[in-house]
Amino acid sequence: MTLTIAALLALAVDAGGGVAGTGAPLVRPALLASVAQDAAITRAFRVVLNRDPSSFELRRYRMLMEQDGWSESDIRRDLRERSDYRPFRTLRGVSADDIVRRAYQDILGRDPDPDGLRNYRSKILNDGWAVNFRTASADRIIRRAYQDILGREPDPAGLRNYRRAILEEGWDEQDVRQALIRSPERRQQRIGASTGQAEDMVRRAYRSVLGREPDPSGMSHYTAKVLLEHWTEEDLVQALRDSDEYREKHR
Protein backbone atom coordinates (compact mmCIF):
# COMPACT_ATOMS: atom_id res chain seq x y z
CA MET A 1 0.00 0.00 0.00
CA THR A 2 1.40 3.40 -0.97
CA LEU A 3 1.64 5.94 1.83
CA THR A 4 0.72 9.55 1.24
CA ILE A 5 3.23 12.31 1.87
CA ALA A 6 1.26 13.34 4.95
CA ALA A 7 1.37 9.81 6.33
CA LEU A 8 5.10 9.59 5.74
CA LEU A 9 5.59 12.89 7.52
CA ALA A 10 3.66 11.53 10.46
CA LEU A 11 5.95 8.49 10.56
CA ALA A 12 8.98 10.77 10.51
CA VAL A 13 7.94 12.25 13.84
CA ASP A 14 8.31 10.07 16.91
CA ALA A 15 5.37 11.18 19.06
CA GLY A 16 6.52 8.98 21.89
CA GLY A 17 9.87 10.75 22.17
CA GLY A 18 10.70 14.40 22.21
CA VAL A 19 13.28 16.86 23.32
CA ALA A 20 13.74 16.58 27.03
CA GLY A 21 11.88 19.22 28.99
CA THR A 22 10.14 20.71 25.96
CA GLY A 23 7.55 18.15 24.93
CA ALA A 24 8.52 18.81 21.29
CA PRO A 25 8.36 15.80 18.96
CA LEU A 26 11.61 14.17 17.90
CA VAL A 27 12.07 14.28 14.11
CA ARG A 28 14.10 11.59 12.39
CA PRO A 29 16.26 13.62 9.96
CA ALA A 30 16.99 10.84 7.44
CA LEU A 31 13.35 9.85 7.06
CA LEU A 32 12.21 13.46 6.95
CA ALA A 33 14.74 14.19 4.19
CA SER A 34 13.49 11.20 2.20
CA VAL A 35 9.89 12.41 2.56
CA ALA A 36 10.89 15.89 1.37
CA GLN A 37 12.68 14.40 -1.63
CA ASP A 38 9.66 12.29 -2.58
CA ALA A 39 7.42 15.34 -2.27
CA ALA A 40 9.69 17.35 -4.58
CA ILE A 41 9.85 14.52 -7.13
CA THR A 42 6.08 14.09 -7.06
CA ARG A 43 5.52 17.83 -7.57
CA ALA A 44 7.90 17.83 -10.53
CA PHE A 45 6.10 14.92 -12.20
CA ARG A 46 2.70 16.47 -11.65
CA VAL A 47 3.77 19.84 -13.04
CA VAL A 48 5.68 18.52 -16.06
CA LEU A 49 3.92 15.26 -16.94
CA ASN A 50 0.59 15.63 -15.12
CA ARG A 51 1.01 12.30 -13.35
CA ASP A 52 2.62 10.77 -10.27
CA PRO A 53 6.01 9.02 -10.52
CA SER A 54 6.26 5.25 -10.38
CA SER A 55 8.16 3.60 -7.54
CA PHE A 56 11.12 3.08 -9.86
CA GLU A 57 11.10 6.75 -10.85
CA LEU A 58 10.99 7.80 -7.21
CA ARG A 59 14.06 5.68 -6.47
CA ARG A 60 15.87 6.98 -9.54
CA TYR A 61 15.40 10.67 -8.78
CA ARG A 62 15.89 10.21 -5.04
CA MET A 63 19.32 8.74 -5.81
CA LEU A 64 20.15 11.69 -8.08
CA MET A 65 19.15 14.10 -5.30
CA GLU A 66 21.21 12.24 -2.69
CA GLN A 67 24.32 11.48 -4.74
CA ASP A 68 24.46 14.31 -7.27
CA GLY A 69 22.75 17.09 -5.33
CA TRP A 70 19.84 17.47 -7.74
CA SER A 71 17.11 19.96 -6.83
CA GLU A 72 13.45 19.95 -7.81
CA SER A 73 14.24 22.32 -10.68
CA ASP A 74 16.86 19.83 -11.97
CA ILE A 75 14.23 17.09 -11.99
CA ARG A 76 11.75 19.30 -13.84
CA ARG A 77 14.36 20.18 -16.43
CA ASP A 78 15.26 16.52 -16.90
CA LEU A 79 11.63 15.56 -17.36
CA ARG A 80 11.12 18.29 -19.94
CA GLU A 81 14.24 17.32 -21.89
CA ARG A 82 13.82 13.53 -21.88
CA SER A 83 11.52 12.55 -24.70
CA ASP A 84 11.23 9.00 -23.35
CA TYR A 85 9.20 10.34 -20.42
CA ARG A 86 6.65 11.99 -22.68
CA PRO A 87 3.24 10.58 -23.50
CA PHE A 88 3.96 9.86 -27.16
CA ARG A 89 0.41 8.78 -27.84
CA THR A 90 -0.81 12.37 -27.64
CA LEU A 91 2.49 14.04 -28.61
CA ARG A 92 1.96 16.50 -25.80
CA GLY A 93 5.16 18.53 -25.47
CA VAL A 94 7.04 16.37 -28.00
CA SER A 95 7.22 17.14 -31.71
CA ALA A 96 6.88 14.46 -34.35
CA ASP A 97 10.32 15.49 -35.63
CA ASP A 98 11.83 14.72 -32.20
CA ILE A 99 10.35 11.24 -32.25
CA VAL A 100 11.64 10.52 -35.75
CA ARG A 101 15.14 11.80 -34.93
CA ARG A 102 15.28 9.73 -31.73
CA ALA A 103 14.20 6.58 -33.58
CA TYR A 104 16.74 7.12 -36.36
CA GLN A 105 19.52 7.61 -33.81
CA ASP A 106 18.51 4.54 -31.78
CA ILE A 107 17.97 2.24 -34.74
CA LEU A 108 20.23 3.52 -37.56
CA GLY A 109 22.75 5.58 -35.59
CA ARG A 110 22.19 8.72 -37.66
CA ASP A 111 19.86 11.67 -38.20
CA PRO A 112 17.00 11.23 -40.67
CA ASP A 113 17.34 12.42 -44.25
CA PRO A 114 14.78 15.04 -45.39
CA ASP A 115 12.58 12.51 -47.21
CA GLY A 116 12.59 10.13 -44.25
CA LEU A 117 11.81 12.91 -41.80
CA ARG A 118 8.92 14.12 -43.93
CA ASN A 119 7.52 10.64 -44.55
CA TYR A 120 7.63 9.44 -40.94
CA ARG A 121 6.42 12.79 -39.57
CA SER A 122 3.28 12.26 -41.66
CA LYS A 123 2.93 8.69 -40.37
CA ILE A 124 3.10 9.91 -36.76
CA LEU A 125 0.71 12.81 -37.16
CA ASN A 126 -1.81 11.12 -39.44
CA ASP A 127 -1.53 7.37 -38.81
CA GLY A 128 -0.73 7.12 -35.10
CA TRP A 129 2.78 5.75 -35.54
CA ALA A 130 4.23 7.36 -32.38
CA VAL A 131 3.93 4.21 -30.27
CA ASN A 132 5.45 2.09 -33.04
CA PHE A 133 8.44 4.39 -33.25
CA ARG A 134 9.02 4.34 -29.51
CA THR A 135 8.68 0.55 -29.37
CA ALA A 136 11.24 0.16 -32.17
CA SER A 137 13.65 2.44 -30.32
CA ALA A 138 13.16 0.54 -27.07
CA ASP A 139 13.78 -2.79 -28.80
CA ARG A 140 16.97 -1.45 -30.36
CA ILE A 141 18.23 -0.28 -26.95
CA ILE A 142 17.48 -3.69 -25.44
CA ARG A 143 19.14 -5.65 -28.25
CA ARG A 144 22.25 -3.48 -28.09
CA ALA A 145 22.50 -3.96 -24.32
CA TYR A 146 22.00 -7.74 -24.58
CA GLN A 147 24.66 -8.05 -27.28
CA ASP A 148 27.18 -5.93 -25.37
CA ILE A 149 26.59 -7.41 -21.88
CA LEU A 150 25.47 -11.00 -22.50
CA GLY A 151 26.73 -11.55 -26.04
CA ARG A 152 23.37 -12.69 -27.41
CA GLU A 153 19.99 -11.57 -28.69
CA PRO A 154 17.30 -10.99 -26.04
CA ASP A 155 14.84 -13.79 -25.43
CA PRO A 156 11.13 -12.93 -25.90
CA ALA A 157 10.47 -12.61 -22.16
CA GLY A 158 13.47 -10.34 -21.63
CA LEU A 159 12.55 -8.18 -24.61
CA ARG A 160 8.99 -7.85 -23.35
CA ASN A 161 9.96 -7.04 -19.76
CA TYR A 162 12.62 -4.46 -20.59
CA ARG A 163 10.41 -2.87 -23.26
CA ARG A 164 7.73 -2.37 -20.63
CA ALA A 165 10.29 -0.85 -18.25
CA ILE A 166 11.39 1.64 -20.93
CA LEU A 167 7.94 2.59 -22.16
CA GLU A 168 6.06 2.62 -18.86
CA GLU A 169 8.64 3.22 -16.12
CA GLY A 170 11.03 5.62 -17.80
CA TRP A 171 14.07 3.32 -18.00
CA ASP A 172 16.89 4.36 -20.31
CA GLU A 173 19.71 2.33 -21.87
CA GLN A 174 21.91 2.66 -18.80
CA ASP A 175 19.16 1.20 -16.62
CA VAL A 176 18.83 -1.82 -18.93
CA ARG A 177 22.59 -2.34 -18.98
CA GLN A 178 22.85 -2.17 -15.19
CA ALA A 179 20.03 -4.69 -14.81
CA LEU A 180 21.77 -7.09 -17.20
CA ILE A 181 25.12 -6.64 -15.43
CA ARG A 182 23.43 -7.65 -12.16
CA SER A 183 21.58 -10.58 -13.75
CA PRO A 184 22.31 -14.21 -12.76
CA GLU A 185 23.30 -14.97 -16.36
CA ARG A 186 25.99 -12.29 -16.32
CA ARG A 187 27.28 -13.43 -12.93
CA GLN A 188 27.52 -16.97 -14.26
CA GLN A 189 29.43 -15.77 -17.30
CA ARG A 190 31.90 -13.92 -15.11
CA ILE A 191 32.40 -17.00 -12.94
CA GLY A 192 32.98 -19.07 -16.08
CA ALA A 193 35.57 -16.63 -17.40
CA SER A 194 37.38 -16.53 -14.06
CA THR A 195 37.44 -20.31 -13.90
CA GLY A 196 38.97 -20.46 -17.37
CA GLN A 197 41.64 -17.96 -16.41
CA ALA A 198 42.44 -19.91 -13.24
CA GLU A 199 42.79 -23.16 -15.18
CA ASP A 200 45.15 -21.47 -17.63
CA MET A 201 47.30 -20.32 -14.70
CA VAL A 202 47.41 -23.85 -13.33
CA ARG A 203 48.43 -25.28 -16.72
CA ARG A 204 51.23 -22.75 -17.12
CA ALA A 205 52.54 -23.46 -13.63
CA TYR A 206 52.51 -27.23 -14.19
CA ARG A 207 54.31 -26.90 -17.52
CA SER A 208 56.99 -24.58 -16.18
CA VAL A 209 57.65 -26.50 -12.94
CA LEU A 210 56.82 -30.14 -13.65
CA GLY A 211 56.99 -30.14 -17.44
CA ARG A 212 53.58 -31.71 -17.90
CA GLU A 213 49.86 -31.03 -18.05
CA PRO A 214 48.00 -31.09 -14.71
CA ASP A 215 46.14 -34.24 -13.76
CA PRO A 216 42.40 -33.82 -12.98
CA SER A 217 42.97 -33.87 -9.21
CA GLY A 218 45.71 -31.25 -9.38
CA MET A 219 43.68 -29.08 -11.75
CA SER A 220 40.68 -29.11 -9.43
CA HIS A 221 42.75 -28.50 -6.29
CA TYR A 222 44.81 -25.59 -7.59
CA THR A 223 41.96 -23.98 -9.53
CA ALA A 224 40.06 -23.80 -6.26
CA LYS A 225 43.09 -22.18 -4.63
CA VAL A 226 43.10 -19.45 -7.28
CA LEU A 227 39.36 -18.82 -7.20
CA LEU A 228 38.66 -19.14 -3.48
CA GLU A 229 41.96 -18.13 -1.87
CA HIS A 230 43.16 -15.71 -4.53
CA TRP A 231 46.42 -17.53 -5.24
CA THR A 232 48.67 -15.94 -7.84
CA GLU A 233 50.65 -17.78 -10.47
CA GLU A 234 53.75 -17.32 -8.31
CA ASP A 235 51.91 -19.08 -5.45
CA LEU A 236 51.15 -21.99 -7.76
CA VAL A 237 54.75 -22.24 -8.92
CA GLN A 238 56.03 -22.24 -5.34
CA ALA A 239 53.53 -24.89 -4.26
CA LEU A 240 54.56 -27.16 -7.14
CA ARG A 241 58.23 -26.66 -6.33
CA ASP A 242 57.49 -27.81 -2.80
CA SER A 243 55.78 -30.95 -4.09
CA ASP A 244 57.22 -34.46 -3.77
CA GLU A 245 57.12 -34.84 -7.55
CA TYR A 246 59.38 -31.81 -8.05
CA ARG A 247 61.83 -32.94 -5.36
CA GLU A 248 62.03 -36.43 -6.91
CA LYS A 249 62.85 -34.91 -10.31
CA HIS A 250 65.59 -32.67 -8.91
CA ARG A 251 67.52 -34.98 -6.56
Each residue's pLDDT tens digit, 141-188: 899 889 888 888 999 999 999 988 887 777 888 889 889 988 888 877
| pLDDT-based confidence at residue 20 (cuts at 50, 70, 90) | very low
Per-residue pLDDT at 29: 64
Question: What pLDDT was estimated at residue 240?
Answer: 94
Point out the least confidently predicted range of 62-66, 101-105, 233-237: 101-105
d(CA 25, CA 13): 6
Mean pLDDT of 95-115: 78
Number of H helices, E strands in the chain: 13, 2
pLDDT band at 42 (very low <50, low <70, confident <90, very high): very high
Tell me the average pLDDT of the chain.
78
pLDDT beyond 80 at 192: no
pTM, full prediction: 0.41
Q: Residue 94's closest CA among 57, 140, 137?
A: 137
Residue 132 pLDDT > 70: no
Residue 105, judged by CB atoms within 10 A of its CB (0-12, 13-18, 19+), counts as middle
Compute the C-alpha angle 71/76/79, nearest 5°.
Answer: 130
What pLDDT does 6 receive?
47
Confidence class for position 7, pLDDT limits 50, 70, 90: very low
pLDDT attached to residue 118: 87
CA dist list (Å): 105 to 2, 79, 112, 114, 245: 38, 20, 8, 15, 62
The whole-number pLDDT of residue 155 equals: 92
pLDDT more than 90, % of the chain = 22
| Residue 13, φ and ψ in degrees, nearest 5 | -110, 125
| Predicted local distance difference test score (pLDDT) of residue 43 | 92
pLDDT for 82 equals: 64
Range of weakest confidence among 102-106, 125-129, 169-173, 236-240:
125-129
Distance CA 102, CA 83 (A): 8
Least confident of 21-25, 49-53, 93-97: 21-25
CA distance 109 to 102: 9
Closest residue by Cα to residue 76 from 49, 46, 44: 44
- What ranges do the domains of the chain cover? 5-81, 85-182, 186-249
* Residue 50 dihedral angles phi and psi, to the nearest 5°: 60, 40
- Between CA 224 and CA 150 the distance in angstroms is 25
Average pLDDT rounded to a whole number, residues 13-35: 55
